[in-house]
Structures are given as C-alpha cells and as structure tokens.
Amino acid sequence: MTGASFSLETMFFWNREEMMIGTVKSPRLASLLAGAAMAVLGLAGSASAQDVIKLKLHHFLGPKAPAQTDMLEPWAERIEKASEGRVDIEIFPAMSLGGRPPELIRQARDGVVDIIWTVNGYTAGLFPRSEVFELPFIHTNDPVATNLAMRDMFDAHLAEEYQGVKVLFSHVHAGQAIQMVDTEVRKPSDLAGKQIRIPTRTGAWVVEALGASPVSMPVPDLPQALSRKVVDGAFIPWEIIPALKMQDLTDYQIEGADKTRFGTTTFQVSMNQAKWDSLPEDIQQIFLDNSGEDWSREVGEIWRAIDDRGIEVATDAGNTHVTLTAEETEAFRTQLEPVVERWIEEVDAKGIDGRALVDAARAAIAKHSKGM
C-alpha cells in the first residue's frame, strides 16, 4: 500500500467514524473531514492527469489519407501502448491547427505544435543536404532502400540542417510518377510546353529539364488546379490518387521500367527540440525504439503498398497506366542527368560537397536495394 493510498483509506475510516459521532456530538468535525477527503481525491486525480504526456501531431493531409491511417496512426498507437498510457498523441490533420503546409516546420521549431509530419521541400532551400535523395535516378523505385539510406547518412551528413527539432524518422514515398490530363507521355519531348505541378524545387528542375513549366503547390491544392486547367498534369506518386480522386481528374498514369520514378519527395516526422528534451529518458527511448531501422523499413513497405493500391483505383476507373520500356526510361535518365549536376554546383557554392553526397546516397541505396 502506497503512502497516498494509506492516507486516503485512513481518512475515509476516520471520516466514517466521526460522521457517526457527529450526528450527536460533532457535525463540524465531520464536515471538515469530509471536505479533506474530497481534497485528497482531487489531488490524486490531478496528479494522475499530469502524468500523461499529451502531444499534438499536425500535418497537411486529410484524416482518411493513407499517410495518416497507414503510417501516423499506427506509429502513434505503438508509442502510446509501449508507454502504458503515459503518452497520448493526438493527430490534427488537414492543417486543422492553423497555417499552411509550408509553415509546419516553423510551427514545430517554435513549439506551436509538438510534432509535425511535413514535406521538406515545402520550405525551399531549408534542407539542402537532404535534397540529394529527391534527385532523379538517385532514388529509383525502392522506398525501403531509400529510407534506410537516409537513416544511414543522417548523423554524419544531414543532421545539422534540422536545428530546433528532433527528427524521429525521415522517409520518402514511392517516387514521382507522371499523371496527365489528355497527354500520353512516352518520351521527354511529350512534356514540352506543358504546365506540370511539382512539390519541390528539385522537382521544378526535373520539369524544366523535360521542357515543361513547373507550377509549385502543396498537394491539397492540386485537384482544383487540374479541374481549372491551371496545370496539365503532375509529378506525384500513385498513392495520392484515391485521396484526391485523381482517377477523375487525369487520363494517364506514367512511370518508368520496373516502377522507376523521376525523383521523389523527402518527408520528416519531427518533434520540437525543447519538448523532446523535456521528456523522461524512458519515454524518449520508447520513441526511439518505435522509430528505428525496423520502422523505416516498414514505412517504405507501407508507401509501396498504398502506391500499388492507388494505381489500381486509376486503372479500375478506366485510366491508362503507361509503363515505359527500358529504352524509353533511359532516354529520361539521359535528359535528367544535368539536374544532378545543377544541384551539385548549387550546393557546392554553399560549402556543401554535393558530389560526395550524391556518391554516398547512391552507394547507400544500392546497399539496401533488393538483391544486394
């Protein structure tokens, strides 16, 4: 029996006895003891509530998006379960706590929210080293391999650009495929003169290298842009098809041979650094245990699976799924290699060894690729 429970039980015992006496001798004493008992109960309840660490997780997609239902919710539930109820993570989708998607990283750094899931590229130039994984034909078709490569390289190559937050895990999606209205794409010149939505500045370089005009916008703005013909298509993975009803807004879904994609997008799930520092060590360890290498691998598998589900929705609706031949894919590789060189030159000017990062990223991805 703890000290608190002993005191409470003892008070109930004496309160009961004095109330019996108080009916004849001491009604004031009985009243005082009853009040004291209620105060102890209130304090005990308050202490219990304070033991629960309540955290707000903010992100930009809707509550039914696979990113929430298949990744963020299971991750949060595992941490809550492992903490035996000491952690409570409440998810706020669709920017429901205010602001626009590009503001998420600042919200985390400023402590406006505790945890965010966001696209690194929504804040152009803020994560230049991590951009290496977004470049065309660095990531090709295996999100598991790229997730693990990002994890391998994080401490030595990437960590310094994440000041103010504790990165719990980073990941990519399956990669940028091409989704078009009216236009079947088989070669780079098929995109000439088109207006194409892109998520990041490296995506803009890809589109420019293919002769099209990039239009930058967050994912939630894409359906309206397509319906109003502001854009002719988008560089975006299949997984977003059901959430945005892309099967109704586009006609063609195009990817390279063996599911090759034309770059990808990097994401982070990060906690405000001060909030992280305030957590008890055992709670920190629970987060680390549930956000480690096994989880990075599982996240890659999650995004591959939801991407496969997405393309099924499009083809079931009658859209045309185009898989380029190896030769057609190689034509895109040749056209896009200058994008990698452009990125190397730009980050070199900032004192970052871009070629070393490219070489390291390619080697790390190859290390984790299937069959390696």
Contact assessment for residue 82 and residue 123, using Cβ atoms and an 8 Å cutoff: no
pLDDT tens track for 194-228? 999 998 899 999 999 999 999 998 898 999 999 99
Backbone torsion region of residue 93, taken as left when φ is above 0, otherwise alpha when ψ lies between -120 and 50, otherwise beta: beta
Within a domain: residue 230?
yes
Structure tokens at 249: 């807004």
**10 and 141 belong to one structural domain:** no
**Which ranges of the chain would DSSP assign to H, the alpha helix?**
3-22, 27-51, 66, 73-82, 104-110, 143-153, 201-209, 222-227, 240-244, 246-249, 273-278, 281-289, 293-316, 326-348, 354-368
DSSP per-residue codes, 94-111: TTTTSS-GGGHHHHHHHT
User: What residues contact residue 68 under an 8 Å CB cut-off, 6+ apart?
Assistant: 59, 61, 62, 91, 93
**265 and 357 belong to one structural domain:** yes
Within a domain: residue 223?
yes
Within a domain: residue 260?
yes
Within a domain: residue 307?
yes
Residue 148 belongs to domain spanning: 128-273+293-372
**152 and 256 belong to one structural domain:** yes
- pLDDT surpasses 90 at 230: yes
**149 and 236 belong to one structural domain:** yes
Q: What is the pLDDT of residue 348?
A: 98
**147 and 26 belong to one structural domain:** no
Q: The whole model's pTM is what?
A: 0.85
- pLDDT surpasses 80 at 23: no
**140 and 269 belong to one structural domain:** yes
**144 and 28 belong to one structural domain:** no
Per-chain mean pLDDT for the chain: 89
CATH of the domain at 246: 3.40.190.170
**31 and 160 belong to one structural domain:** no
Greater pLDDT, 274 or 199: 274
Q: What is the pLDDT of residue 72?
A: 98
Within a domain: residue 217?
yes
Number of domain units in the chain = 2
Within a domain: residue 263?
yes
Within a domain: residue 111?
no
**27 and 160 belong to one structural domain:** no
How far, in Å, CA of 117 to CA of 73, rounded? 12
Within a domain: residue 103?
no
Q: What is the pLDDT of residue 339?
A: 98
